[in-house]
Chains A and B, each alone.
Chain A
Amino acid sequence: MNIEQLDIRGHLAQFAPFDHLSDDLLDRIAGSIEIRYFQAGSELLSKDQPIDSLWYIRSGAVEMYQRSGRLFNRLGEGDIFGYSDLLHQRRVRYPVQAIEDTLIYFVPAEIFDEICDVDDDFSEFVDTGGRLKVTVQQQRDDSGLMTTRVRKLITRQPQMVEADTTLQAAAQRMRDENTTCVLVVDLTESQSPYTFVGRDGRHWKLNGILTDRDFCTRVLAEGKSPQTPVGEVMSSRPIVIQSDESVYEAMLCMLRNQVHHLPVLHRRQPMGILHLSDIVRHETHSSLFLVNNIFVQNTPTQLSRLSTEVRNGFVRMVADGANSEMISRALATIGRGFTQRLLELAEAELGPPPVPYCFMVLGSMAREEPTINADQDNALVLDDAYDPEQHGDYFEALATFVCDGLAGCGYAYCKGDVMATNPRWRQPLAVWKRYFEKWMREPNPERLLHSSIFFDLAPVHGEAPMVEALQDLIAEQAPRSELFLAALARNAKNRTPPLGFFRKFVMEQDGEHRKSINLKRRGTAPLTDLVRVHALACGSKSQNTFARLDDIAATKLVGQGVAERLRYAFEFLSMVRIRHQAEAIEHGQEPDNSVDPEHVGSRERHHLKDAFEAISHAQKFLSFRYTLPGKGSSRSQGAERGETAS
């Protein structure tokens, strides 16, 4: 290899997708490069011109324009272009202009094709439609918890005893078999949805579980005789998990239900017992075990001491390669854990509630996708028997206890005052129903801006059916409320993503430059906003953005592949944001949502560009799908022309 090709090679090797190529392939490319200088202002490629090379910017900068004349992209040193044209008709789709004096390296099409054939990473990168998907999938595959199935951790059959077995006999069995629990089963006459066929060919039913802990708390502590049948002290209707669920799901299930033993079933057949320690052995994600700790703290002050551990656990999960869904769900589980424990402590201090209530979370916590710097958004739904005179003080005290406690645990007070401490958001169910009906019946975009957060809601503690009743009401009425959907759609377009990055700057759609980007405001938030509109339109009761996208994909409300593309965009944006926040914590800074382009790598830039594009497309589609009758503000030009013609 000639020395000047070494210089070319050294430059290529710093930038995606060349950075991942083998030395041989890199040599092959560097050895084939041809060079040409272009003056600022000159057109490098014109529309429909045949193209026979991949263009690589060695120095300088170029701009690409869409057919409409709108700026499509601005590229600088180390960027490539022309690849999608090379992959498709070998004709130029977007014209390219030099905005600075620019030196271009050409990779001949034959070499480009050859590299695409032999290097999957390279070909996936240049296949713009697919590259975000591939990256997200790679991230997912990297984390074992999400893909490992529970059955892999099961090493032995469960011990099963009948309900009339004595406690002593059960204990002896546990000693002999060296297990920490037994399952309690009973023979049944007939086959039912809860029965399974035992090895003896008869029908059995799983009725309960008895653990070594139960021997302490329910047998010895209660003074039960060793001759007592296990059926009397077992936990009936045990929490179970299917064998093909992920280890991660099993872990969440244990934490959610505060159990350490989880019977694993194949359909209805018990296959084994999963113990918390099995998972710990499998993979140590101590952040999640923090939830255990939450439930043994007895004062808000004690709870607040755990918040440092939350941050450390978060950083560890990021370092361990967990994906955004796992991290967000872990943070949601932790956040709900804090809330739930605070409510238990409040009830212990204030006494039992005078009327039933449900404490609900809103916004990102309800969607199970909070970030490490999430504010608290919550409200109280009270039974309709609530009397402000009699019960007002109790619930005000309860709300104050919880919200102050949460603030102490690192969940900042909501700036918009969407908290249970606000009397407006501490109301009986009937009032809440009126709120939602009014929002949907008389939508006003300005007012909806502040209330859209209420359309992501989930119960945390108390009578869950009260919040479920609100979810049902929304799912039933929203699809029929065209004005409401149109207003929501209009708001969902208030925050737009940027075009991409250029050198040290964020590139706006109009070509303006910015120093940093708020990944929440310009990325994840517009995406969750637009997904919410579609989800409400199709009557989905899901709150989580991924779950909503599943529901949307099933309805054909959006074009084929759109939901999938948005899913990858969301996963990627969330992950960049999470990594950025973990980095801030590691450097002793306060995590925020603002990302400096100087800290965004060349590969990440390409992916972010794809994600922004997916959001931008989806936002435009909103205008077509949900029109505001009469006002025409969100109508397309075509629709307006149609109107004047008729």
Chain B
Amino acid sequence: MSAISGGLPAADTPIARKESVRTSLWALALRRLLQNKLAMAGGIVVALMFAICFIGPLFSPYTDNKIHMALMNKPPNWKHWLGTDALGRDVLTRVMQAGRISLTVGLASMVLSVFLGSLLGAIAGYYRGIADQIIMRIGDLLLTVPSLPLLFILGALLSEWKVPPEDRMYIVMLLLSFVNWPGIARMVRGEVLSLREREFMQAATVLGLSARRKLFRHLLPNLVPLLIVIASLNIGGAVLSESVLSFFGLGVMPPTPTWGNMIDAANNLIDFQQRPWLWIPPGFCIFATVIAVNLFGDGLRDVLDPKQKR
């Protein structure tokens, strides 16, 4: 904001000018993002979802997860807004606790796959040659193997290794990143291939900068907008994949609740037909989160990716 109000008089000194140009680029993006109503609505819903899931359980009187036989399978009522499950636990509290896990898994696997994908993609695109060949061939290989069976196999493998249930969420994060990085690496590599031919990179070479400095100080900052867009659009996919895996019993396992394994209640005919409060709320949470993340990510892309035409 300083670029608009206070930045002008000081613009004579070179440092101040540099500063104001830099902030105004991001400030411009932010201003355009704030004008995009759909994206802002998405952003607000995501923020609310995080807030509710992480803060909500603190206000719930039912967080102990104790079994209450008298409260089994009660439909929604004033004391339990979303009813109770077969063990008498409050469904609303469980949905919020599940949201913590699902959102964490989605976020963490996004960070990991974007890190892996951008690192490997940047190396492949920048150094070309043998590194490029190895990385991209492995990527092609992973993209050829259908991802759902691959996830199923890996999930089954992990079940056998007797990973304690509370650690399974970390494994699921690793799994999803393992399947997701090749696509990201491809995009980043393409971007790096075009960036490295630009004049500013030639200038960096002429100045005799080291390869590491060129890569980290000059190339990577230019990748940031692309990475932000990839990252935001990737979270939705990760939340969806986690829910599919957990629904089929190969992801995070009960008693750790996630939105996916809560919908598993629908595999029980009576719960499915007569107790929709057990499995419909987590499904709506997945849907709301993913649509909000996608809307926000799309808004970010409009703002940050100048090549994207509208």
Partners in one complex: no
> Measuring CB to CB, which residues of chain B are less than 8 angstroms from any residue of chain A?
none
> Measuring CB to CB, which residues of chain A are less than 8 angstroms from any residue of chain B?
none
